[in-house]
A and B are shown apart, each in its own frame.
Chain A
Amino acid sequence: MSSISLSGVSKFWGDTVGVKDLSLDIKDKEFLVLLGPSGCGKTTTMRMVAGLEKPSTGTIRIGERDVTDLDPRERDVAMVFQNYSLYPQMTVAQNIGFPLRARGVKRNEQQERIHSAAKLVELSDYLGRKPAALSGGQRQRVALARAIVRSPAAFLMDEPLSNLDARLRISMRGLIKRLHREVGTSTIYVTHDQLEAMTLADRVVVMRNGEVEQIGTPKEIYNDPRTAFVAGFVGSPSCNLLDGKIVNGVFSNEGISLAAHLKPDRAKATLGIRPEAISLADGAEAELHGTVFAIEMTGDATLVTVSVGDQQLIAKLDADCTLEPAHTVSLKTGRRRYFFDGETGLAI
C-alpha cells in the first residue's frame, strides 16, 4: 500500500491532446475519484497509472518508485475494467487466482487467498463456474475479487459499475465502499457519474479536456465549485447557470436582478444557482421573475422549469406546489449561489 503521484504528466497522440500537464498526489489509503464527461482524459490518466499507456511527458511514482517506464506487471497495481474482462475459458476460481499464478504464488496459498477473496465479494458458491454462466453483477464481483486477491499497491477502477442496472449499481457501490474500508488500499476510480463520485470518494478530481478543473472533497466540490463547469457537472438536478453582467455589485439580465455583494464588475458573468436553493418569493424578496415552462413530479419534490428572459432554470420546490404552466412566478435564491467570470468560467 502506498501513495501515487503524477507530476507534469501529458499524453498526446499526434495533435490530439489526451491529458495535459497533469500533477496529482494520491495519498496512501485514499479513495480518489476521477470525474468528468467522456473524453475528458480521466480514463487515459488511469491507464497511464496502470502502465497501459506510456505518458508523453512527466513522471509517475507509486510509493517511492518511479514507474513511468515500467510494464504494467511490474507496477503492482490491480485494475477493474468496465466490461469485466474476465478470462472466458477459466472458472471463477481460476480467474481470481490468475494474478497469483502469474506471480508464482504457491498452489495451496493460492487456494487460501482465492477463498478469502471470494468470501469478501460473496462468491464462495460460484467458484467452479465459468464467467458465461454468471450475471453481470456476479461478473463484476469476480473482477473485484481478482483485483483484491493479491493486495496490490493500488486499485484502479475504470467505470466498473456503468454496465449494471440502477439497483445493482447501488448495492455494488456499497460493496466497493466496504471493501475499501476493509482492505484500505489506495484507489483510483474513474466515473462520469457524479453521484458515484460523491458517495465513494475521499477526494474528487473533476477533469475536462485533459485538464484538472478542481480537486477537493465531495463537500468542497459541491459547495465551492471552482469553475462554472464543475458547478454544472456536480449535483442533481444540475446547477442552473444563467448569463448576465455585474455592474456595481448587482448581477442582472432580463428578468434577473440580484445582489452580488463585493464582486467586481464584469461585462459578462455567469450565475450559478442550485435548484434546491430556489424557493417561491413574493414582493421585495423576489430576485427572479419568469413564467412556468414545465412541471415534473418526482415524488418527494416538484421540479419546475421557469423561463427567465430568454433563459431557463430549474427550481426544486415542495411536492405540494400548485403551479401550472404559463403562470408567472417570482423566485428567490438562498445563499448557495456562485458567480463566475463569463470569459474564463472561474469563480469570482
Chain B
Amino acid sequence: MNTVKLTRNAAHALAQVLFIGFFVFPIIWIFMMSLKNFRDIISYPPKFLFSPTLQNYRETIQGAEGTLRAGELPEYVRFLLNSLIISGGAVCLAVLLGIPAAYALARGGLPWRKHIAFTFLSFRFAPELMVILPMYLIYTQIGLYDTYVGMILSHQLICLPLVIWIMMSFFQDVPIEIEEAARIDGASILLTLRAVILPISGPGIASAMIIAFIFSWNNLIFGLVLAGPNTRPVTMGILQAMTFDQIKWGLMAAAAMVSAVPGMIAATYLQRHITRGLTMGAVR
C-alpha cells in the first residue's frame, strides 16, 4: 500500500517537473536571453552564467541611442500604447456590439438562431489571407489605413465572434425564470439586460474580454498590413528586432517580455474568470 502511494507521488512529482520543464523553461530562457548581450546569446555551449545587462530593456524602452527625436515618445512605448488603444478599443467595441447581439441570439427566439451564431463563429476560421488584401484596398481608399478606428474595426474579426460566442453561452446559463420575473416586473428588454442579466454574467463578460484581448494583442497580420507608422502594434514592434541579416535576439526577448506584462496583469487578476470564459459558459 505504502509503496503504491510512494510510486504515485513520485509519478506526480515527475509529471510536474516535466510540465515545468516544457512550459516554463522556454519562458525562463527567453527571459535570460533578454539579459544577455548578442555574444552571450550566440555562444555555444549555452551560457547559464553570464553578467546580466539591462541594455536590451533600456534600448527596447528608450530606443536606440540617438534615434529619439525631441518631444517624441520612444518607439516601443508608442507601440505599446498603440496596442493598448487598439486591443482595448477593439475589446470594448466588441463587447458593446456583441453583448446585445449575443443576448438576442441566446434569448430572442430568432429563427435560424443556430445558423446565425455559427456564421459569426465561422469568421474566426476564415484564413486572414483571404480578406487582408481587399481590406487594405478598402482601407486606403476610405482613409481607415493606419488609423486607430481602422485597426479597431479590423480587430472585430478576431474579437466579435469570440465575444458573441462566449457571451451567448453565459446568457443561456442565466435561469430563464429570473428573466421572466424581470419581464413581469415590468422591465423592458433593455433594462432586463442591463440591470439583471449583465450583473449576473459579470464574470463571463470579464473572461470574454480577457480572451479577446489576448487574441487581439497577439495578432500579427492586421498590424502588418493595415497599420502604418502611426498605429503599429506591439507584435510588429517586437519583430523590428529582425534586420535583413540578423535577429537581435536580446532586443526581441526584452520586447516580448515587456509586451507580456499587460496580459499577465489582466490574467493574474482575473484568472478564475479566464478559466470560466474559456469553457464558454459550459461550466454550470
To the question of whether A and B form a pair in one complex, the answer is yes
Residues of chain A with a CB closer than 8 A to B186's CB:
73, 76, 99, 102-103, 150
Tell which of B178, B184, B202 touches A50, judged by Cβ atoms closer than 8 Å.
B184
Residues of chain B with a CB closer than 8 A to A88's CB:
178, 200
Bound state CA distance, A52 and B177, in angstroms? 10
The interface residues of chain B, by DSSP majority, are classed as helix
Assuming the contacts A85-B175, A85-B178, A102-B191, asked whether A72 and B200 have C-beta atoms less than 8 A apart, the reply is no
Interface string of A38-59 (1 = CB under 8 A from B): 0000000000001110000000
Interface presence of A135 (CB below 8 A): no
Interface presence of A220 (CB below 8 A): no
Residues of chain A with a CB closer than 8 A to B191's CB:
102
- Contact between A85 and B187, CB atoms less than 8 A apart: no
Chain B CB within 10 Å, residue with most, of A75, A87, A90: A87
The interface residues of chain A, by DSSP majority, are classed as loop
Interface string of A75-96 (1 = CB under 8 A from B): 1111101010111111000000
Interface string of B186-212 (1 = CB under 8 A from A): 111001000110011010000000000
Number of interface residues of B (CB under 8 A): 18
- Contact between A72 and B183, CB atoms less than 8 A apart: yes
Tell which of B177, B188, B199, B202 touches A85, judged by Cβ atoms closer than 8 Å.
B177
Residues of chain B with a CB closer than 8 A to A189's CB:
none
- Contact between B187 and A102, CB atoms less than 8 A apart: yes
- Contact between B183 and A52, CB atoms less than 8 A apart: yes
- Contact between A51 and B178, CB atoms less than 8 A apart: no
Residues of chain A with a CB closer than 8 A to B185's CB:
73, 78, 98-99, 102, 146
Assuming the contacts A81-B177, A102-B191, asked whether A87 and B184 have C-beta atoms less than 8 A apart, the reply is no
Interface presence of B181 (CB below 8 A): yes
Interface string of A271-287 (1 = CB under 8 A from B): 00000000000000000
- Contact between A85 and B181, CB atoms less than 8 A apart: yes
Bound state CA distance, A266 and B181, in angstroms? 51
Bound state CA distance, A73 and B186, in angstroms? 4
Interface presence of A71 (CB below 8 A): yes
Give, as a whole number of angstroms, the nearest-CB distance from B179 to chain A. Answer: 9
Task: Report the nearest A residue to B198, measured CB to CB.
Answer: A89
- Contact between A98 and B195, CB atoms less than 8 A apart: yes
Interface string of A11-51 (1 = CB under 8 A from B): 00000000000000000000000000000000000000011
Bound state CA distance, A235 and B182, in angstroms? 37
Residues of chain B with a CB closer than 8 A to A156's CB:
184
Q: List 9 A-B contacts (CB under 8 A).
A: A51-B184, A52-B183, A52-B184, A72-B183, A81-B180, A85-B180, A86-B181, A102-B182, A146-B185
B: which residues have CB within 8 A of A? 175, 177-178, 180-188, 191, 195-196, 199-200, 202
Shortest 3 CB-CB contacts between residues of A and residues of B: A99-B185, A85-B181, A102-B187
